[in-house]
């Protein structure tokens, strides 16, 4: 990892559709060198996937997302890892993190309706061994996701010419 | 009724881009590459500092020189970044943008009839400021074959017994040229040998893409005969806050301070507080913007050369300065027709002084999307109008 790798990562994080040629011009590299560097970053699993940030509210698909806090009893020898792996196997679980503070896991869960999310939590998550407590927070509105703010902003007044 | 306008005011030319300005604001869907400021808003953590200080009642005058803490931080910053030492008590004034710094610097040192050499093409204010101070502006052309750097031979030719000072601006608006140490040394020799003063506008210093910025005052024997002008507008996207600074040896600084206290009193306090925050916690955001400018430069200059507008790679600032010769149009015709036909605003180079003819200034301080669209429109313009 050097400065150039970091630049490539920043550019790709912002727009993963950039071609090797475009990246090359931007980062002052030949397309071949870009290809080799990107392949190495993929190999090292620094680049995990190429994805798209979608404002699902705007897509109006009627889906619901919730943040779930879980208090968990860790296992001897395995700590939180095995239970985390079990949880992450559910398609409904979009993200899963171990955090400091009053609870242990923070999950993002999606479903078609609020009932569906609630049922998923009460039928699958809450009854699992070692889960002590759950708290479900339905997401009402997303303002910013993955560094992208979803605000409609009036462009500021900018004059067309200045010396 | 008498004609009230002074001969001096009459003597300075009107802005060369006024007619384009009026045309552009009457049109819809214009992509402007004509503005000399970052398209970014001021980083939010800096704005928060400004807002907080207003909430705390920080709305009054400051000392004439500017907030003490800001000058102290700035002195440390300048020593660390450019190896130049100025005493914050006696050798520094916070100004209302570099614009004011330039004006009071020129007025502090110019007597009627003094010649002031100006490296052109350049920002449009230098020559009128010299005229308003009663001096005589003497343009020296920086040539494309020298990558738009000031050639010492050309400078030498312009020096006369009446020459008092030389104004330079590197990294340069509009060419993006940078003077490295080896380019500055012969210029410094001429300035010393002829006992001249150097006024160095370094407002784009942090936007230097290859190597580090070299401040002329850091060269041997130059500190005593240099006025260093710089500011927060370009590096920290703070144009509207109007904060610059003037650094010079005490005698010159005292003279400039007298003018400053009569005409400006002090720079706006909100801007000064925000500038202080920029020095304390603005580096990361600044580095991010500089990296983005560099990426855009690479994309845009590659694009210009691809569509047939030959352009050297600018090493600093955020301007590309391509030649429009190939189109068979003058720079004025090119800029006007491009605006009328394809709604892309660029500044004709001849507005920016000697050596600007046949070029136009394109600021790449616009989003990558707008730059790509501007290139498409320019390419279409060229294919329709030039064969």
Q: Is A60 a residue whose pLDDT tops 70?
A: no
Q: Is A155 a residue whose pLDDT tops 90?
A: no
B78 CB burial (10 A radius; 0-12, 13-18, 19+): buried
The dihedrals phi and psi of A15, each to the nearest 5 degrees, come to -155, 100
Alpha-carbon distance of B54 to A117, in angstroms, equals 46
Instruction: Give the other-Cβ count within 10 Å of A100's Cβ.
Output: 6
Domain residue spans of chain A:
3-43, 56-140
The CATH architecture of the domain made up of B7-42+284-385 is Alpha-Beta Complex (3.90)
Query: Sheet harboring B163-169: ordered strands across?
Result: B92-95, B244-247, B226-231, B197-201, B163-169, B115-120, B136-141
- Residue B387 has what pLDDT? 59
Q: Is B273 a residue whose pLDDT tops 80?
A: yes
- Which residue from B173, B291, B347 is facing A161, i.e. has the nearest CB? B347
Tens digits of per-residue pLDDT, B137-157?
999 999 999 999 999 999 999
Q: Which B residues, 273 through 302, put their C-beta within 8 Å of a C-beta on chain A?
A: 291, 295, 298-299, 302
Secondary-structure breakdown of chain B: helix, strand, coil percentages, each rounded to the nearest 5: 45, 15, 40
Q: Which residues contact B63 (CB under 8 A, 6 or more apart)?
A: B266
Taking CA–CA distances from B20, the nearest residue in chain A reads A161
Tens digits of per-residue pLDDT, B304-358?
999 999 999 999 999 999 999 999 999 999 999 999 999 999 999 999 998 999 9
- Residue A100 has what pLDDT? 96
Question: Which of B19, B39, B386, B74 has its CA nearest to residue B243?
Answer: B74
Question: Which of B30, B13, B122 has its CA nearest to residue B359?
Answer: B122
Tens digits of per-residue pLDDT, B32-79?
999 999 999 999 999 999 999 999 999 999 999 999 999 999 999 999
In chain A, what residues touch B173 (CB-CB under 8 Å)? 163
Q: What's the mean per-residue pLDDT of chain B? A: 96
Question: Which of B185, B37, B49, B162 has its CA nearest to residue B110?
Answer: B162
| CATH 3.40.640.10 placement within chain B | 58-281
Tens digits of per-residue pLDDT, A75-131?
999 999 999 999 999 999 999 999 999 999 999 999 989 999 999 999 999 999 899
- Residue B96 has what pLDDT? 98
Q: Are the C-beta atoms of B248 and B226 separated by less than 8 Å?
A: yes
- Residue A62 has what pLDDT? 73
Q: How confident is the model at residue A57 (pLDDT cuts 50, 70, 90)?
A: confident
In chain A, what residues touch B125 (CB-CB under 8 Å)? 163
For range B112-124, the mean pLDDT:
97
Q: How would you classify the pairing of strands B226-231 and A131-138? A: unpaired
Alpha-carbon distance of B78 to B70, in angstroms, equals 12
Q: How far is CA A102 from CA A26, A98, A99, in A?
A: 45, 11, 9
For range B219-238, the mean pLDDT:
97
- Which residue from B125, B173, B345 is facing A161, i.e. has the nearest CB? B345
Can you point out the beta strands (E) in chain B? 31-32, 92-95, 115-120, 136-141, 163-169, 197-201, 226-231, 244-247, 319-320, 344-345, 347-348, 360-363
Q: Is B271 a residue whose pLDDT tops 70?
A: yes
- Which residue from B37, B291, B302 is facing A162, i.e. has the nearest CB? B37
Q: Which residues contact B294 (CB under 8 A, 6 or more apart)?
A: B209
DSSP label of A102: S
Tens digits of per-residue pLDDT, B235-266?
999 999 999 999 999 999 999 999 999 999 99
The CATH architecture of the domain made up of A3-43 is Orthogonal Bundle (1.10)
In chain A, what residues touch B352 (CB-CB under 8 Å)? 163
- Residue B226 has what pLDDT? 98
- Residue A156 has what pLDDT? 66
Alpha-carbon distance of A118 to A107, in angstroms, equals 13
Residue A74 in tokens: 């860790």
* Minimal CA separation from A161 to chain B, in Å: 5
Name residue B197's beta-bridge partners.
B165
- Residue B218 has what pLDDT? 98
The CATH architecture of the domain made up of A56-140 is 2-Layer Sandwich (3.30)
In chain A, what residues touch B299 (CB-CB under 8 Å)? 22, 25-26
Q: Which A residues, 1 through 40, put their C-beta within 8 Å of a C-beta on chain B?
A: 7, 10-11, 22, 25-28
Determine if residue B68 is left, alpha or beta; phi over 0 gives left, psi from -120 to 50 gives alpha, anything else beta: alpha
**DSSP class per residue in B3-69:** ----HHHHHSPPPTTHHHHHHHHTSSSPEE-B--S-SSPPPHHHHHHHHHHHHTT--S---TT--HH
Q: Is B366 a residue whose pLDDT tops 90?
A: yes
Q: Is B159 a residue whose pLDDT tops 70?
A: yes
A62 CB burial (10 A radius; 0-12, 13-18, 19+): exposed
Q: What percent of chain A has pLDDT over 90?
A: 74
Q: What percent of chain B has pLDDT over 70?
A: 100
- Which residue from B17, B295, B298 is facing A161, i.e. has the nearest CB? B17
| CATH 3.90.1150.10 placement within chain B | 7-42+284-385
Q: Is B382 a residue whose pLDDT tops 70?
A: yes
Q: Which residues contact B212 (CB under 8 A, 6 or more apart)?
A: none
Question: Which of B143, B108, B104 has its CA nearest to residue B264?
Answer: B104
**Tell me, which fold does domain B58-281 have in CATH?**
3.40.640
SS3 A144: strand
């Amino acid at each position: 990892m050097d400065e150039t790798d970091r630049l490539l990562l920043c550019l790709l994080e912002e727009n993963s559709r950039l071609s090797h040629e475009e990246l090359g011009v931007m980062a002052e590299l030949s397309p071949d060198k870009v290809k080799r560097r990107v392949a190495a970053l993929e190999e090292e699993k620094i680049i995990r996937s190429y994805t798209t940030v979608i404002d699902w509210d705007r897509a109006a698909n009627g889906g619901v997302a919730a943040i779930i806090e879980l208090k968990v009893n860790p296992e001897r020898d395995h700590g939180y890892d095995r239970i985390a792996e079990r949880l992450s196997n559910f398609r409904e679980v979009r993200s899963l993190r171990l955090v400091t503070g009053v609870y242990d896991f923070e999950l993002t869960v999606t479903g078609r309706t609020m009932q569906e999310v609630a049922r998923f939590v009460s039928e699958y998550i809450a009854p699992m061994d070692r889960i002590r407590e759950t708290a479900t927070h339905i997401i009402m509105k997303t303002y910013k996701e993955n560094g992208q703010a979803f605000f409609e902003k009036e462009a500021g007044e900018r004059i067309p010419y200045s010396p | 009724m008498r004609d009230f306008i002074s001969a001096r005011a009459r003597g300075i030319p009107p802005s060369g881009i006024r007619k384009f300005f009026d045309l552009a604001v009457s049109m819809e869907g214009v992509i402007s590459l004509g503005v000399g400021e970052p398209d970014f808003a001021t980083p939010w953590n800096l704005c928060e500092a400004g807002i907080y200080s207003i909430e705390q009642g920080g709305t009054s005058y400051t000392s004439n020189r500017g907030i003490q803490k800001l000058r102290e931080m700035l002195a440390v910053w300048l020593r660390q970044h450019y190896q130049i030492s100025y005493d914050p008590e006696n050798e520094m004034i916070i100004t209302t943008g570099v614009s004011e710094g330039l004006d009071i610097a020129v007025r502090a040192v110019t007597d009627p009839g003094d010649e002031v050499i100006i490296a052109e093409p350049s920002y449009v204010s230098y020559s009128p400021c010299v005229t308003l101070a009663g001096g005589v502006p003497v343009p020296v052309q920086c040539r494309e074959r020298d990558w738009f750097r000031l050639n010492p031979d050309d400078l030498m030719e312009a020096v006369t017994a009446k020459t008092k000072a030389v104004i330079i601006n590197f990294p340069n608006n509009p060419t993006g040229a940078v003077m490295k140490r080896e380019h500055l040394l012969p210029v410094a020799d001429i300035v010393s040998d002829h006992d001249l003063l150097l006024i160095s506008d370094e407002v784009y210093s942090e936007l230097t893409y290859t190597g580090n910025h070299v401040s002329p005052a850091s060269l041997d024997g130059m500190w005593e005969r240099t006025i260093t002008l710089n500011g927060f507008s370009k590096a920290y996207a703070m144009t509207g806050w109007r904060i610059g600074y003037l650094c010079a040896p005490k005698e010159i600084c005292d003279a400039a301070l007298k003018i400053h206290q009569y005409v400006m009193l002090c720079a706006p306090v909100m801007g000064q507080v925000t500038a202080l925050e920029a020095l304390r916690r603005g580096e990361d955001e600044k580095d991010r913007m500089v990296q983005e400018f560099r990426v855009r430069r690479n994309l845009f200059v590659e694009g210009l050369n691809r569509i047939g507008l030959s352009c050297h790679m600018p090493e600093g600032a955020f301007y590309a300065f391509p030649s429009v010769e190939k189109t068979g149009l003058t720079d004025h015709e090119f800029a006007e027709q491009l605006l009328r036909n394809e709604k892309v605003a660029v500044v004709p180079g001849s507005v920016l002084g000697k050596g600007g003819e046949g070029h136009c200034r394109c600021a790449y301080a616009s989003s990558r999307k707008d730059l790509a669209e501007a290139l498409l429109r320019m390419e279409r313009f060229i294919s329709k109008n030039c064969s």
